[in-house]
Amino acid sequence: VDETIRLGLVSPMSGPNARYGAFSLHGAELAVKEINDAGGIDGRKIEIFSADSQGTPVEGVSATRRLIDQDKVNYIIGDVSSSVTLAMQPVAEDAGVLLLNAASSNPKITYGAGVGGYKWTFRNYPTDENRALIVAKYAAEQRGFTKFAVLSVDSDYGRSAITFTKKYLPDFKGEIVSEDYYKEGEVDFRSVLAKIRDNGAQAIIMYGLADTTPIIARQMLELGLAGKVTLIGNGEFNTEKTIKSAPKVLEGAVEAAAWLPAFDSPESKAFVEKFTAAYNEAPNNHAYVHWDTVHLLAQAIKEAGSPDQAKVRDALSKIKYKSAVGEVTFDDHNQARLPMILLQIEDGKPSIKGAYAADIQYPAN
Amino acid sequence: MSLTEVSQSQQRRDLRLPLGVLLLLAALCAPFVASTYVVHALIIALIFMLPAHGLNLLVGYTGLLSLAQAAFFGIGAYASGLLAVTYGTPFYVNVAAAGLAAGAIALPLGIPALRLRSTSFVMCTLGFVIIGQAIAKNWISLTRGDMGLSSIPKPHFALGPLSFTVSGTTAFYYLALTVGILATLAVWMIVRSPAGRNMIAIRENETLAESVGIPTWRYKLIVFMLSAVFAGVGGSLYAHYLTVVSPLTFQMYYSTTMLIIVLGGGAGTISGVVFGSLLFVGLTEALRVTPELRMIAYGLCLLVLVFWFRKGFAPVINRLWDSIGSAK
Amino acid sequence: MTGLPILEISNLTKSYGAVKAVDDVSIHVERGEIAGLIGPNGSGKSTFFDCSTGLAKPDSGKVRLDGQDITGWTLNRIAREGRMLRSFQKTVVFKSLDVEENLIIAGQMFSFPWLFSTFGIGKLSRSRVSGLRERAQDLIRMAGLWDVRKQPAGNLSGGQQKLIQFASMLMPEPKLILLDEPMAGINPKIIERVVETILYANKSLGVSFLIIEHNIDVVTSICRRVIVLDQGRKLAEGLPQEIINDQRVREAYLGG
Amino acid sequence: MADSNLSIKSLRAGYGSLDILNGVDLDVPAGQFVALMGPNGAGKSTLLKTLYGMTTIKDGSIDWRGKNIAGYKSRAILGEGISFVPQGRCNFPVMTVDENLQMAAYTLRDDKVKADRDYVYDLFPILKTRRSTLAGNMSGGEQQLLEVAMAVLQRPKVLLVDEPSVGLSPAAIGIVFDELLRLHAAGQTILLVEQNTKKAMEVAERAVILRLGRVTWDGLPGEISHDELGELFLTGKMRGETEAVH
Amino acid sequence: MFSTILEQIINGIVTGSVYAIVAVGMTMIFGVLRAINFAHGEYYMLGTFGAWFAIDYLGLSYEASIVVGVLSTIVIAYVVGKFVMQRMVGAPPESGVLATLGIALVLQNTVILVFGGGYKFFSGGYIEPVSILGFSLAEQRVIILIVCLIVFIGLELMVTYTRMGKSMRAVSQNVECCEVVGIDVPQVVLRTFILGAALAALSGVLTAPVNVSVYGGMGELITFKTLPIIIMGGLGNVRGTFFAAMILGIAESLVATYVGLQFRDTVGFATLILMLMWRPHGLFSTQARF
Ligand SMILES: Nc1ncnc2c1ncn2[C@@H]1O[C@H](COP(=O)(O)OP(=O)(O)OP(=O)(O)O)[C@@H](O)[C@H]1O
Ligand SMILES: Nc1ncnc2c1ncn2[C@@H]1O[C@H](COP(=O)(O)OP(=O)(O)OP(=O)(O)O)[C@@H](O)[C@H]1O
Ligand SMILES: CC(C)C[C@H](N)C(=O)O
Ligand SMILES: [Mg+2]
Ligand SMILES: [Mg+2]
């Protein structure tokens, strides 16, 4: 009998989001290696099967099917992009394969999971709602901002984060003065930044892509926004590379992330070290969440006492998993109760201001 | 002379008919022999075959190179997605509505676009896809923007007391196969008729076609709409199969895939489109090695196609088919 | 025959920028007539055709076909509803289709006049198509293209393509055919056949012709009446013999 | 002068795998004016195109001044002093007449070019009046004149002309043929393909009749009457009809 | 208000200049081949990668990296031109679409395969802001503007007066006739292609300092930006391309400011469609008779 545990990973290995795919795979592979080196789960080794979603739903579904039908995987982790995950859900459901999401933040995914419908979907990642709330709260209460300009990526992630920002901002007397979304790969932000310069916004709410942040920061510098307008939101503000691109602009930036390399816990530090040793580059958030999710799955299998999917599912819903950022449990929508980490750039270094979890208000069906 | 011709063709038909039946049987048996994954790939191939058929009428027969197919595909997908999600209309209503919506929208788009020639027309059609995506993203009250439409129900048929839901992969395969065969037959009937010949005339030389009395403008418009109908139906099936629709359905990548199916299969041939959709969807699946190598291989395939199979694979298939027919 | 001319064009004018290609020209073709249109190069003959058949839009002027005002009609409508066909000076054929298909296409809009009837399959439409095919084959024999009839028309020699164009005009039974230099590049023996065919179509089928031609022998032998254009204006009109003896025509056109 | 001549031996050529010329033998002494005639589809244009390197040559040789130029690229052949006026439209439609004439002398870079152009304008005054019209907007006949003029400007040693009279008015045909005669008088070798046999026989020194890709008659124009010529076209009939038997 | 608009127009002109330099190569290649080069943006990407490589791996200065970027692109363009583009002469437009899409896939993914899919950080260039007419602008943008003007004046002169320019126009109109008058068509195609690719690369290298990030997929985007431009400019028309690029740059800038950044990418095609309704043959084209 085949004793290995077959784990599928769906991620964007090609296309504009390929970078996320690479980090995800590396993170997951590192975890698998750690587990296998430690003797596996009750003696069973994990084997990982990677499939490319190209960041598009149809390819994501194809990839999922192939993992299920050809590679006969028992578990799937994926995808990064919410649109793809949403499309994968029914496929996993039909096949009765456990789908663990590690990086998509669109709330809809767990609105429709657990008691919401899809019994086989779990998410080990905080939602946009949570993120939007704590950023808005911090910006208003700690920094005293009231006028905000939106400049986010034009995707379900960027757009839904703003949707929730709008939901909570009135609670903090905040006001949005302009709203713009950029396409992946956009490089020219001068027009919008000039508008923001003139409309009196104190902060730019940016739920964006890591690679765009330096461009925007540079152009803010060019337009003389450094020190006048602050970046808040999410978009790898905290990495050395980003800060180096325009230190003056990023000073004071506020970010909420599921994880960041500077997070101060022994597990986290150890992960950063191992990852850097293995791949010669510092991990990012996506590497971490995939690494973490594999470990979470391993613990669930261990607690279930067998790789049987139904048992593992039950184990997951009852699990108390100690992650690098705190204890993880799942609610009845199979959504992990996870903290978001809030940080601010001070003196060119990220400084952590706290970790906040928030209960999700599920829409009444 | 005419006598020998007749007997020859009869001899041929005798051999090709059983083979055709065999192929059909193979298609019918596929879910029982092939893995679910292969069946899934076949479903995607069958779905993409619909817009490709439409595109073939446009590119292969009428000579209008268009990249708009993804736009109509997207319109079809959204039309049936919205109907299904908001009004819960039955599947066949959605499919019909998707086709009609795509066809109807093609009319106002086609009227200005078809006044353009060659490259301008191509770019204009590409514009439809890009603008379509922008609308899908930004008209949030209708389309829910990037969040997309999810939980589109599986096709459900209800005829009086009988009701049936197409839920599994196998069932959906038969549904797609049926639609695919019907569409292929429809295209076959169109291109064999005098209308098909008129379309070819327009492709060959529009002014000359005009001068022998072919209302080229009306033909082009109708074929444009027809191709949109095919794409719309394809989009509808796609939505019901994947159960989600997002603005990414409006993608230049889909338009080029459809174009590659048609040109690579053999523009102006039906067998080419059928074969092309199997090959080029199959190929992308088969090439799933490492993503970059796969794309490089795909690109090289395109170059091979251009240099060695300028007419696509259809001539090769037809020669094969003929040799089967004339073999004793 | 009624006295009404089959084609009557009055005061047609067309200019391109500063060039007055056609300048206030009035011409008519009588029912059952073969008329010739000659003139030096650039005198506006082809432009005149273009404007009469809807390919170009005249600046002013009226075109009446069989008593009906067809000014502003499109090329295809004039062909289909007006039953007036034209050939082009620059040879055009459906390049990748064979000779037979070329001719069938030329004929079929008349057998299948309505857009949707053209989707018809079934017996009636099949018999119509085979009727067309027979007719096409007769014309192919006439033009001496029998052996190349299955070749793509684009691969034929210049003269052969010209012949396809000519044969296409006779596929349907139009009322009137405008030919733009049908004999150019055709070998003298075949010219005889083309002439015979024109005369036959004219006599037995009652088709009227207006022919632009530089082969003056042909013009004088088949045309009942010849019209001469020069620099966009009508220079002369009359019997062929009168025309070739006209001093102005000799100077402008025949050279000497 | 006798050393420089064009000599074609058992030439087999065509398009792709299709042979149109089935063994053409033709010797053209320097300075001769040859009229090439034959039914439509006989292969006349194919022969000229082959001489100009635009078809696939299967067999045989084309000797030009002791060199076998079979298989040369068109440009190399032009460099050898052979020019070609193809059948059908061959100009640059969106360039003016003047620019077209400039392009014609593309390979020549001396100061005679300008003088030649003035000469051509004098020869065909209609081109002069149209010098800044786009070539593609001119009438068929005007374009034909332009193309002949373009060939004249190339100052070739051998001129291959394919049906220059097509679309020309009788007066213009007169001018074109007079120009060919003048070039001939100046020592140029001319290979003229014509369907206007009457005119061609008047000007040429020698008549060659091609049928089914072979030379079937070769002699002095005076040796054959028009009726005989027509008969020759027909007895051979057209390419199609002889083969239609089987 | 007025000064904001003026500032946006200046922004638009800078963006337009970047587009213009890329688009003009594309339009010239279209001129000689009658094929839309869907791979054109890839040469922009290659140039940028070449320069980035020169700076990050070879430790060269930005100026030297411009040379490296452009030269390495020329080498690649030579190979592509020799083996693919020359064979496209006289091919139907569909072949052009397929072949150039194929090349785009090959080039883009080879680069990703070699350098990875992630974004690279371009560190060279003159990014200090200067103040012009009271508006703050990176020096690099001023350089782009000046280079754009030089390129266009040069090309305009070349196309109208030089043999190369005339033969390019000739090839675009009638290939057979080029043979007849002795123009070396394959050579003209190759040279035009290399020139176009080199210009794209130059644009890429000049823009890299302000766009900061360098990644394999960047070419595709620029291809899509330039497609509407070359149509609006009247395919094959150098001067038209310049004006079309400026119009688009300014329109994008204004839309991004007053309508929303998310509509920016739609501007090109929307403007194109509107313009085509009004002038089906482009803004600056000449049309010959049937
Ligand atoms: N491009 C081509 N491809 C294939 N076959 C061709 C091509 N061009 C011509 N042919 C064939 O070659 C034969 C001879 O053509 P060619 O043009 O040489 O005739 P021609 O003698 O010049 O006739 P014409 O007097 O009508 O111009 C034609 O019958 C045609 O079938
Ligand atoms: N689109 C156009 N733009 C500019 N001038 C044009 C255009 N079309 C035609 N012309 C001019 O109009 C005049 C008449 O041309 P047309 O073709 O009618 O002459 P034609 O009598 O048919 O001559 P040919 O006997 O040479 O065919 C010519 O001088 C031509 O240059
Ligand atoms: C690329 C990431 C920023 C994606 C984001 N987490 C999402 O849900 O789509
Ligand atoms: Mg004319
Ligand atoms: Mg010929």
The DSSP string of B45-111 is HHHHHHHHHHHIIIIIIT------HHHHHHHHHHHHHHIIIII---HHHHHHHHHHHHHHHHHHHHH
Q: Distance, CA A85 to ligand 3 centroid (Å)?
A: 10
Are A179 and A162 spatial neighbours (Cβ–Cβ below 8 Å)? yes
E30: tokens are 């279209």
- The whole-angstrom separation of Cα A200 and Cα A78 is 41
Q: Tell me if D89 and C90 make a contact (CB, 8 A cut-off).
A: yes
pTM as predicted:
0.88
**Residues contacting residue A288 through CB under 8 Å, at least 6 positions apart:** A27, A258, A259, A268, A271, A324
Are E8 and A191 spatial neighbours (Cβ–Cβ below 8 Å)? yes
A350: tokens are 């990220």
Cα A4 to the chain's mean position, in Å?
Answer: 28
Are B285 and B294 spatial neighbours (Cβ–Cβ below 8 Å)? no
pLDDT at position D242, please?
A: 38
Helix, coil or strand: residue D20: strand
Q: Are strands B156-159 and B162-165 parallel, antiparallel or unpaired?
A: antiparallel
Which tens digits make up the pLDDT trace of C142-178?
888 888 888 898 888 888 888 888 888 888 888 899 9
State which residues form the domain around C219: 1-83+174-256
B313: tokens are 């694979």
Residue D193: beta bridge partners? D36, D162
Tell me: cis bond preceding C230? Omega within 30 of 0 counts: no
B-chain residues near C93 (CB < 8 A): 205, 208
Helix, coil or strand: residue E104: helix
User: Is C33 contained in some domain?
Assistant: yes
Helix, coil or strand: residue D35: strand
Cα E111 to the chain's mean position, in Å?
Answer: 19
Which helix (H) or strand (E) element contains residue C9?
A: strand C7-16
Half-sphere CA count of A89, side-chain side, radius 13 A: 28
C-chain residues near B205 (CB < 8 A): 92-95
Ligand 2 pocket check for C44: Cβ under 6 Å: yes
Are B226 and B39 spatial neighbours (Cβ–Cβ below 8 Å)? no
More confident residue, D237 or C58: C58
Residue of B nearest to A153 (CA): B146
Ligand 2 pocket check for C184: Cβ under 6 Å: no
**Residues contacting residue B8 through CB under 8 Å, at least 6 positions apart:** none
- D139 — contact with chain E (CB < 8 Å)? no
- The whole-angstrom separation of Cα E234 and Cα D119 is 36
User: Is D147 contained in some domain?
Assistant: no
- Find residues 140-179 of chain D whose CB sits inside 8 Å of chain E: 150, 154
The DSSP string of E236-261 is T-HHHHHHHHHHHHHHHHHHHHHT-G
- Going by CA atoms, what residue is nearest to atom 28 of ligand 1? D41
Half-sphere CA count of C122, side-chain side, radius 13 A: 5
> Which of C109, C114, C134 best tests the B interface by mutation, with the highest count of B CBs <10 A?
C109
Q: Tell me if A214 and E4 make a contact (CB, 8 A cut-off).
A: no
What CATH number is attached to the domain comprising D199?
3.40.50.300
pLDDT at position A19, please?
A: 75
User: Is D209 contained in some domain?
Assistant: yes
Whether the pLDDT of residue B100 is over 90: the answer is: yes
User: Is D125 contained in some domain?
Assistant: no
- Rounded average pLDDT per 10-residue block, chain D, 246 residues: 69 86 86 87 88 87 84 86 84 88 83 84 85 86 87 86 87 85 86 87 87 84 73 52 34
Residue whose pair of structure tokens reads 């006048």 in the numeric block: A228
C136: tokens are 């096409």
Are C235 and C228 spatial neighbours (Cβ–Cβ below 8 Å)? yes
Q: Tell me if B146 and A65 make a contact (CB, 8 A cut-off).
A: no
Q: Are strands C225-230 and C233-238 parallel, antiparallel or unpaired?
A: antiparallel
Are B121 and B113 spatial neighbours (Cβ–Cβ below 8 Å)? yes
- The whole-angstrom separation of Cα E202 and Cα E151 is 10
- D239 — contact with chain C (CB < 8 Å)? yes
State which residues form the domain around D72: 2-89+152-235
Ligand 1 pocket check for D49: Cβ under 6 Å: no
User: Is D108 contained in some domain?
Assistant: no
Q: Tell me if E181 and D103 make a contact (CB, 8 A cut-off).
A: yes
Are B248 and B126 spatial neighbours (Cβ–Cβ below 8 Å)? no
Q: How many domains does chain C fold into?
A: 2
Ligand 1 pocket check for D38: Cβ under 6 Å: yes
CA-to-CA separations, C13 to C56, E186, E290, in angstroms, rounded: 11, 45, 19
pLDDT at position A344, please?
A: 93
Q: Tell me if B215 and C110 make a contact (CB, 8 A cut-off).
A: no
Q: What is the CA radius of gyration of chain E?
A: 19
- The whole-angstrom separation of Cα C240 and Cα C238 is 6
Q: Which of E27, E24, E32 is nearest to E169 (CA)?
A: E32
Are A149 and A204 spatial neighbours (Cβ–Cβ below 8 Å)? yes
Q: Which of the four pLDDT bands, split at 50, 70 and 90, describes residue C41?
A: confident
| DSSP character at residue A339 | P
Which helix (H) or strand (E) element contains residue C38?
A: strand C34-38
**CA-C160 nearest atom, ligand 1:** 26
- E59 — contact with chain A (CB < 8 Å)? no
- Going by CA atoms, what residue is nearest to atom 4 of ligand 3? A81
Ligand 2 pocket check for D137: Cβ under 6 Å: yes
Q: Which residues of B166-199 are buried (b: 16+ CB within 10 A; e: fewer)?
A: beebeebbebbbebbeebbeebeebbebbbbbbb
Last residue of a domain, one of C155, C172, C189: C172
Residue-by-residue pLDDT tens, chain E, 290 positions: 677 788 889 889 999 999 999 999 999 898 888 888 999 999 999 999 999 999 999 989 999 999 999 999 999 999 999 999 888 887 888 888 889 989 999 999 899 888 876 677 888 788 787 887 777 788 888 999 999 999 999 998 888 888 888 888 888 888 888 888 888 889 999 999 999 999 999 999 999 988 878 888 888 889 988 999 988 888 888 888 999 999 999 999 999 888 888 888 888 889 888 888 887 776 665 544 44
The helices-and-strands tally (H runs, E runs) of chain B is 14, 2
Using alpha carbons only, give the angle D84, D86, D88 rounded to the nearest 5 degrees. 160
**Residues contacting residue E143 through CB under 8 Å, at least 6 positions apart:** E126, E206
Residue of D nearest to C228 (CA): D169
> Which of D46, D87, D162, D166 best tests the C interface by mutation, with the highest count of C CBs <10 A?
D166
Q: Which of C181, C97, C168 is nearest to C132 (CA)?
A: C168
B6: tokens are 């007749």
Q: Distance, CA B318 to ligand 1 centroid (Å)?
A: 28
Q: Which of A12, B290, B295 is nearest to E108 (CA)?
A: B295
Q: C120 CA to chain B: closest CA distance, Å?
A: 7
Q: Distance, CA D144 to ligand 5 centroid (Å)?
A: 15
C170: tokens are 């006779």
Which tens digits make up the pLDDT trace of C66-84?
888 888 888 888 888 888 8
CA-to-CA separations, C25 to C46, C51, C178, C228, D17, in angstroms, rounded: 13, 11, 17, 11, 51
- The whole-angstrom separation of Cα B113 and Cα B100 is 19
E-chain residues near D103 (CB < 8 A): 166, 170, 181, 183
Q: Which of D196, E266, A218, A279 is nearest to B126 (CA)?
A: E266
- The whole-angstrom separation of Cα B305 and Cα A161 is 45
Residue of E nearest to A211 (CA): E119
Q: Which of A5, A10, A124 is nearest to A67 (CA)?
A: A10
Residue D27: beta bridge partners? D7
CA-to-CA separations, B317 to A305, B264, B269, B272, B312, in angstroms, rounded: 56, 12, 11, 8, 10
Task: Find the helix packing angle between B169-192 and B2-33, rounded to 10°.
Answer: 160
- Other Cβ atoms less than 10 A from the Cβ of A365: the count is 8
pLDDT at position A365, please?
A: 53
List chain B domain ranges: 35-250
Q: List the single residue in D40, D172, D244 with the smallest CB-CB distance to C186.
A: D40
Q: How many domains does chain D fold into?
A: 1
User: Is C208 contained in some domain?
Assistant: yes
A308: tokens are 């049987």
- The whole-angstrom separation of Cα E30 and Cα E34 is 5
Shared domain check, C49 and C2:
yes
Ligand 3 pocket check for A230: Cβ under 6 Å: no
Q: Which residues of A143-155 are buried (b: 16+ CB within 10 A; e: fewer)?
A: eebbebbbbbbbb
Burial class (CB in 10 A: 0-12, 13-18, 19+), D97: buried
User: Is D34 contained in some domain?
Assistant: yes
Ligand 3 pocket check for A81: Cβ under 6 Å: yes
For a pocket test of ligand 2, which of C15, C45, C50, C51 has the largest count of ligand atoms closer than 8 A to its C-beta?
A: C45
pLDDT at position D207, please?
A: 87
Shared domain check, C19 and C63:
yes
Are A263 and A239 spatial neighbours (Cβ–Cβ below 8 Å)? no
Residue of A nearest to B246 (CA): A83
Q: D95 CA to chain C: closest CA distance, Å?
A: 17
C-chain residues near D42 (CB < 8 A): 157
Q: Among all ligands shown, which has an atom nearest to the Cα of D132?
A: 2
B144 Rama sector, left if φ>0, alpha if ψ -120 to 50, beta otherwise = left
E25: tokens are 């190569």
Chains that touch C (3 or more CB pairs under 8 A): B, D
Provide the Cα torsion C65, C71, C74, C75; round to 10°.
50
User: Is D132 contained in some domain?
Assistant: no
Q: C19 CA to chain B: closest CA distance, Å?
A: 24
A-chain residues near B292 (CB < 8 A): 14
- Going by CA atoms, what residue is nearest to atom 24 of ligand 2? C41
Burial class (CB in 10 A: 0-12, 13-18, 19+), A94: middle
What CATH number is attached to the domain comprising C37?
3.40.50.300
User: Is D80 contained in some domain?
Assistant: yes
- D156 — contact with chain C (CB < 8 Å)? no
Q: Distance, CA D230 to ligand 1 centroid (Å)?
A: 20
Q: Distance, CA C40 to ligand 4 centroid (Å)?
A: 9
Whether the pLDDT of residue C117 is over 70: the answer is: no
User: Is C88 contained in some domain?
Assistant: no
Q: Are strands A230-234 and A203-207 parallel, antiparallel or unpaired?
A: parallel
Q: Which of B48, B59, B38, B34 is nearest to B267 (CA)?
A: B59
- Find residues 195-224 of chain D whose CB sits inside 8 Å of chain E: none
pLDDT at position E258, please?
A: 87
- Going by CA atoms, what residue is nearest to atom 4 of ligand 1? C155
Residue of D nearest to C229 (CA): D169
- B251 — contact with chain A (CB < 8 Å)? yes
Residue of E nearest to D82 (CA): E180
- B310 — contact with chain C (CB < 8 Å)? no
Q: Distance, CA C196 to ligand 1 centroid (Å)?
A: 25
Q: Among all ligands shown, which has an atom nearest to the Cα of D37?
A: 1
- Rounded average pLDDT per 10-residue block, chain A, 365 residues: 83 78 92 92 91 82 86 91 87 91 89 88 90 91 92 85 91 91 83 89 91 88 88 89 87 91 89 92 90 95 89 92 90 89 91 82 70
- Going by CA atoms, what residue is nearest to atom 25 of ligand 1? D40
Are A172 and A140 spatial neighbours (Cβ–Cβ below 8 Å)? yes
- Going by CA atoms, what residue is nearest to atom 30 of ligand 2? D138
Residue A220: beta bridge partners? none
